[in-house]
């Protein structure tokens, strides 16, 4: 009898002849998530088992597994030979000590000598004989004994399913570059694209000394929190102070944010192409702020050739906040340190700017020089 963590994957089983590729990436991601913890990882026909692990770190193991995209569910259980005596010995360990219970058997091995119903009856009967404080309730039991008969002569016995992160393994859907601010939205957007299997890297724009070092530290912490899911190990930061100063000095005040965002997209696209990323990702939500109107988004899109993904575009603020709390970024996001978009913020920013007006004002600036200067300010942080 061996204690194991049982992992079941999500959408991978739908991938037909390509399933092997997705399973290999999933295996790599599981190993990366468990780095530094003694363990063995085994794959057995649609299941993964973590075995021979440091039992003192089991809570940490379960926590790490819960954040791996592609995991549908996981359980802490026992691996035993598939004889009824061995299964019963394991069932006694996971069954409740009193109250109602139900035995629920799944046969991966359809050639097993007993049907699922027969196994349920046999093991359930033995448990009742062993413990008079138990009774069976097949409709609303207080506890379960789950039995999974595998094809390799083994059985997995456990008492509970835990919900996994779902989605697809990170790295199976290409690479994208997230424009991450210190706010609530962009970390959630990065999480959602990682959940769809995208390898997401992070780029942050700052306006030091108008924004302080604490604002940058806040974003570094957000990126670190996201890395628990996305497996990304670094953050790039770039200064746009000089760009904002020139926009403020030479252009119409109501376009400060609109013009800044166009520069951000230009810079991000060049960084993305260096890193062979195929898209940009933002946390924009339609109509949430003045720059996030359809006209504002169209203005930003107009200066890049890469696709821009906005996974939050149809979410309201409460939905975004709820997700931020769930993934653990909310408390950091609401720390009171301003980001670059609050610098030189006009009293009445343009809500529906005309592209002709934007381009006219932008012609007052040396775009290429400003972009190159920004790219030369890039710094890298690892966590």
Domain assignment of residue 86, yes or no:
yes
Counting residues of the chain whose pLDDT is more than 70, the rounded percentage is 97
Domain assignment of residue 169, yes or no:
no
**Burial track 239-270 (b if 16+ CB lie within 10 A, e otherwise):** bbbebbebbeeebbebbbbbbbbbbbbbbbbe
CATH code of residue 341: 3.40.50.620
User: Does pLDDT of 17 surpass 80?
Assistant: yes
Domain edge (last residue) among 104, 131, 163: 163
**Does residue 186 share a domain with residue 105?**
no
- Please give the pLDDT value at position 15: 84
CA angle, 66 then 167 then 306, to 5° = 125
Domain edge (last residue) among 163, 185, 220: 163
CB 44 within 8 A of CB 148: no
Please state, in angstroms and rounded to a whole number, the distance separating the CA atoms of residues 58 and 366.
Answer: 57
**Does residue 220 share a domain with residue 151?**
no
Which residues does 102 contact at the CB level (< 8 Å), separation at least 6? 124, 136, 137, 138, 141, 143, 144, 145
Question: Domain range holding 64?
Answer: 2-163
Domain assignment of residue 64, yes or no:
yes
**Does residue 137 share a domain with residue 43?**
yes
CB 178 within 8 A of CB 281: yes
CB 82 within 8 A of CB 68: no
- Please give the pLDDT value at position 204: 96
- Out of 26-40, 113-127, 340-354, which region has the weakest mean confidence (pLDDT)? 340-354
**Does residue 57 share a domain with residue 34?**
yes
Please state, in angstroms and rounded to a whole number, the distance separating the CA atoms of residues 72 and 83.
Answer: 28
Domain assignment of residue 23, yes or no:
yes
Residues in the chain: 383
- Please give the pLDDT value at position 144: 97
Domain edge (last residue) among 163, 195, 223: 163
pLDDT band at residue 344 under the 50/70/90 scheme = low
Q: What is the pLDDT of residues 223-255, one digit of tens each?
A: 999 999 988 889 999 999 999 999 999 999 999
- Please give the pLDDT value at position 351: 79
Q: What pairs with residue 350 in β-bridges?
A: none
**Does residue 190 share a domain with residue 109?**
no
**Does residue 152 share a domain with residue 232?**
no
Which residues does 127 contact at the CB level (< 8 Å), separation at least 6? 88, 91, 92, 95, 101, 103, 134, 145
Domain assignment of residue 168, yes or no:
no
User: Does pLDDT of 340 surpass 60?
Assistant: no
What string of DSSP letters covers 37-80? S--EEEEETTEEEEES--GGGHHHHHHHHHTSTTEEEEEEEEEE
CATH code of residue 101: 3.30.2130.30
User: Does pLDDT of 347 surpass 60?
Assistant: yes
Domain assignment of residue 366, yes or no:
yes
**Does residue 48 share a domain with residue 191?**
no
Please state, in angstroms and rounded to a whole number, the distance separating the CA atoms of residues 47 and 150.
Answer: 9
Tokens encoding 277: 């990323």
Q: Name the residue among 169, 91, 168, 178 with its Cα closest to residue 129.
A: 91
User: Does pLDDT of 275 surpass 60?
Assistant: yes
Whether the link from the prior residue into 209 is cis, omega within 30° of 0, is yes
Tokens encoding 127: 């448990």
Domain assignment of residue 128, yes or no:
yes
Q: What pairs with residue 146 in β-bridges?
A: 104, 158
* Mean pLDDT for the chain overall: 93
Stated pTM of the model: 0.91
User: Does pLDDT of 338 surpass 80?
Assistant: no
Domain assignment of residue 154, yes or no:
yes
**Does residue 232 share a domain with residue 133?**
no
Query: How many domains are there within the chain?
Result: 2
- Please give the pLDDT value at position 271: 98
**Does residue 237 share a domain with residue 97?**
no
Q: What is the pLDDT of residues 305-331, one digit of tens each?
A: 999 999 999 999 999 999 999 999 999
- Please give the pLDDT value at position 114: 94
**Does residue 153 share a domain with residue 83?**
yes
CA 50 to chain CA centroid, nearest Å = 21
**Does residue 273 share a domain with residue 214?**
yes
User: Does pLDDT of 89 surpass 80?
Assistant: yes
**Does residue 90 share a domain with residue 36?**
yes
Please state, in angstroms and rounded to a whole number, the distance separating the CA atoms of residues 182 and 161.
Answer: 35
User: Does pLDDT of 357 surpass 90?
Assistant: yes
């Amino acid at each position: 009898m061996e204690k194991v963590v049982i992992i079941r994957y999500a959408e991978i089983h739908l991938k037909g002849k390509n399933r092997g590729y997705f399973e290999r990436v999933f295996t790599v991601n599981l190993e990366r998530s468990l780095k530094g913890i003694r363990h063995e990882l085994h794959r057995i026909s649609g299941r993964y088992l973590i075995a021979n692990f440091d039992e003192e770190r089991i809570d940490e193991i379960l926590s790490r597994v819960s954040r791996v995209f592609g995991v549908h569910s996981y359980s802490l259980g026992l691996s035993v030979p598939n004889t009824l005596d061995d299964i019963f010995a394991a069932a006694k360990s996971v069954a409740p000590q009193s109250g109602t219970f139900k035995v629920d058997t799944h046969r991966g091995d359809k050639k097993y000598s007993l049907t699922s119903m027969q196994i349920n009856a046999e093991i359930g009967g033995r448990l009742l004989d062993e413990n008079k404080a138990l009774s069976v309730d097949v409709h609303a039991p207080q506890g379960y004994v789950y039995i999974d008969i595998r094809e390799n002569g083994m059985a997995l016995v456990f008492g509970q399913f835990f919900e996994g992160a779902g989605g697809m393994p990170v790295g199976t859907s290409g690479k994208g570059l997230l424009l991450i601010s210190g706010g609530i939205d962009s970390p959630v957007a990065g999480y959602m694209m990682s959940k769809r299997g995208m390898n997401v890297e992070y780029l942050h724009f700052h306006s030091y000394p108008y924004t302080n070092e604490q604002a940058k530290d806040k974003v570094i912490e957000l990126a670190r929190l996201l890395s628990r899911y996305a497996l990304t190990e670094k953050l790039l930061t770039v200064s746009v102070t000089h760009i904002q100063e020139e926009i403020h000095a030479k252009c119409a005040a109501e376009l400060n944010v609109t013009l800044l965002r166009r520069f951000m997209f230009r810079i991000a696209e060049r960084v993305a192409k260096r890193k062979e990323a195929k898209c940009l990702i933002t946390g924009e939500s339609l109509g949430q702020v003045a720059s996030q109107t359809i006209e504002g988004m169209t203005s930003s899109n107009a200066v890049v050739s890469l696709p821009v993904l906005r996974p939050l575009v149809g979410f309201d603020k409460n939905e975004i906040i709820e997700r931020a709390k769930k993934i653990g970024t909310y408390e950091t996001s609401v720390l009171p340190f301003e980001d670059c978009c609050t610098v030189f913020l006009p009293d009445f920013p343009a809500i529906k700017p005309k592209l002709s007006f934007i381009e006219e004002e932008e012609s007052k600036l040396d775009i290429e020089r400003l972009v190159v200067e920004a790219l030369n300010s890039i710094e890298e942080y690892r966590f």
